Amino acid sequence: MTHGKRYGPLFVLFVISTAAAHAQWLDYREPGIPRTTDGRANLTAPAPKGLDGKPDLSGVWRHETTGTAEMKRLFGKLAEEAEKVDVPGMEISSVHKYGLDLLVDFQPEETLLRPAAKEQLQRNRKLAESLCGAGDSFPVGFPLAGLLSEPIKIVQSPRITMVLYEVGNAHRQIHTDGRKLPEEFDLPAFQGYSAGHWEGDTLVVETAGFNDKTWLDVGGHTHSDALRVTERFRRRDFGHMDYEVTFDDPKMYTKPFTVKIPHQLLPDSDIFEMYSENEKDCKHIGKR
C-alpha cells in the first residue's frame, strides 16, 4: 500500500532541509577499534565492555537504511520527488521509513489512533502545508531526531549515558545510578526524563515526563503528556546494535506499539553541529 499522498510538501522539505554531511576528523583513526589486516574497522569483533563490565554502547551510530526501492513502494511519488535531490547525504534512502511514518507497518484498518490523535494529526498536516522550513517550526524529539539522515552519538559511563543528536543539536541524559522515574513531573520536557537499568547485556531505558509539543514522525503523528517510552539497547558485536522502542500513550493510542531499528557503528567519525544558514530551499518547495 502506498502512503505517500498523506504528507504533502513536508515530506520533501524534511529530506532537503535536515540532511547534512556527516562531519568527521579527516584521516583520524580512533584508538581501541579492532581492525582487519587492511586497516578497516572489524565490525563483527566482540562488543567492548565498560568499566562496570557492561557492554559499552559508546560510539557514533546510524540507523539501518530502508532502501530507495522500498521507500518508493511505501511512499510513492513523494519518494520519487525527494530522490531528485541530487546531493550526497540527502538521498531519500538515508531517512528511515519510521522517520516518515512511525505507523507505516500497520494497515489502515489496524489504526491505533484515538479520535484526539486523529484530530491532532490532521491539524499537524494542515499546518505543515502552510509552512516553509517546517523543520524549524516544531521541535523534533525522539525517536524522530535519530531517524533522519544524521547519526547519533552515545557516550556511556557507569552512572549516566548521554545520547547526542546531530539533528537540532539535541541531547538526552539517561540516568543509570539507580534512580526511578517519579510518578508526576513538575516540568514536562521536550525529550522527557530517562532512567535506565541493565537486564543482562541489554540497557533498558524508561522515559516519561514529556510535554505534548513534538511530533513522533515527519507525517505528523502526535503524542500526549501521558506518553511513556521504553527503549532496549543491545550491542550484539562491535559494529551492530539492536534498538527496540515501545510507545505507550493511552490518551492518543488504543494500545502500545513497538518498532525495531537496528543500528550500525560509524567508526572514525563524529557528529557535527547543525544550524540553518543561507537557506534557499524554501522558495522552491512551493513550486513542486
Say whether pLDDT at 23 is over 60: no
Query: Does a structural domain hold residue 158?
Result: yes
d(CA 97, CA 105): 9
CA atoms within 13 A on the CB side of 108: 4
Q: What total of structural domains would you count in the chain?
A: 1
- Which three-class secondary structure state does DSSP give residue 20? coil
d(CA 58, CA 235): 10
User: Which residues lie across from 101 on neighbouring strands?
Assistant: none
What are the grid coordinates assigned to 288, written together?
A: 513542486
Query: Does a structural domain hold residue 284?
Result: no
Say whether pLDDT at 13 is over 70: no
User: Which residues lie across from 242 on neighbouring strands?
Assistant: 234
pLDDT for residue 2 = 46
Poorest-pLDDT segment among 8-17, 41-50, 252-261: 8-17
Query: Does a structural domain hold residue 285?
Result: no
Distances (CA, A) of 165 to 54, 171, 207, 264: 23, 6, 17, 15
What are the grid coordinates assigned to 243, written together?
A: 534498538
d(CA 157, CA 18): 30
Query: Does a structural domain hold residue 282?
Result: no
The answer to whether the beta carbons of residues 46 and 238 sit under 8 Å apart is: yes
Query: Does a structural domain hold residue 56?
Result: yes
Identify the H or E element spanning 98: helix 97-100
d(CA 187, CA 201): 32
Domain that residue 131 falls in: 4-30+48-274
Query: Does a structural domain hold residue 143?
Result: yes
Say whether pLDDT at 207 is over 90: yes
User: Which residues lie across from 288 on neighbouring strands?
Assistant: none
Say whether pLDDT at 209 is over 80: yes
Average pLDDT, the chain: 84
173-193 residue pLDDT tens: 999 999 999 999 999 999 999
Identity at 152, one-letter amino acid code: I
What are the grid coordinates assigned to 167, written together?
A: 539533528
Identity at 193, one-letter amino acid code: Y
User: What Rg, from alpha-carbon coordinates, does the chain have?
Assistant: 19
Tally the residues of the chain: 288
pLDDT for residue 246 = 98
The answer to whether the beta carbons of residues 55 and 201 sit under 8 Å apart is: yes
pLDDT confidence band for 20 (50 / 70 / 90): very low
Q: Is 83 exposed, middle or buried (0-12, 13-18, 19+ CB in 10 A)?
A: middle
Above pLDDT 70, what percent of the chain? 79
47-88 residue pLDDT tens: 999 988 999 999 999 999 888 888 888 888 777 776 666 555
What is the arithmetic mean of pLDDT over 78-101? 74
pLDDT for residue 1 = 42
109-145 residue pLDDT tens: 788 999 999 999 999 888 877 665 444 456 788 889 9
Phi, psi of 199 (to 5 degrees): -120, 95
What is the arithmetic mean of pLDDT over 25-29? 73
Query: Does a structural domain hold residue 36?
Result: no
262-282 residue pLDDT tens: 999 999 999 888 765 555 555
Query: Does a structural domain hold residue 233?
Result: yes
Above pLDDT 90, what percent of the chain? 56
Tell me which residue of 49, 236, 68, 155 sits closest to 244, measured CA to CA. 236
pLDDT for residue 219 = 87
Say whether pLDDT at 19 is over 50: no
- Give the count of beta carbons closer than 10 Å to the beta carbon of residue 119: 12
